Amino acid sequence: MAGVEGLQMVPPESRPLVFQVCLRQMTLSSAVATETFRSLPPLAQVVNSAWLFHSVLEIAAEISRRSAKHSADFLAATRRLFNH
């Protein structure tokens, strides 16, 4: 999902964390940050719990301090977990 319209699917209290994760990723890989930004609104819908989604983003933010790829992998694994 491109642009900010996708952020409407993200709980308002989690939006700052979306930007925090993407900004940290961007310093390491702009391609990973772009993909993460696009993947988070659908992930928010799959998780379907504002509290749980916020917790997932907090963990991703911590991981993104060290690795853009690992934080993206964590988010992808979270999506796969909720899709099963």
5 part of a folded domain: no
What distance in Å separates the CA atoms of residue 32 and residue 29, rounded to the nearest whole number?
5
Domain that holds residue 75: 12-83
Is the pTM higher than 0.85? The answer reads yes
pLDDT at 2: 57
* Helix 15-28 × helix 30-47 angle, to 10°: 150
71 part of a folded domain: yes
4 part of a folded domain: no
pLDDT at 3: 65
User: What are 40's two structure tokens?
Assistant: 């988070």
List alpha helices for the chain, DSSP H. Answer: 15-28, 30-47, 50-64, 68-83
Domain count for the chain, please give it: 1
49 part of a folded domain: yes
State the 10-residue block means of pLDDT for the chain, 84 residues long: 77 96 95 96 94 97 96 96 88
19 part of a folded domain: yes
User: CA of 84: how far to CAs of 34, 47, 55, in Å?
Assistant: 25, 11, 19
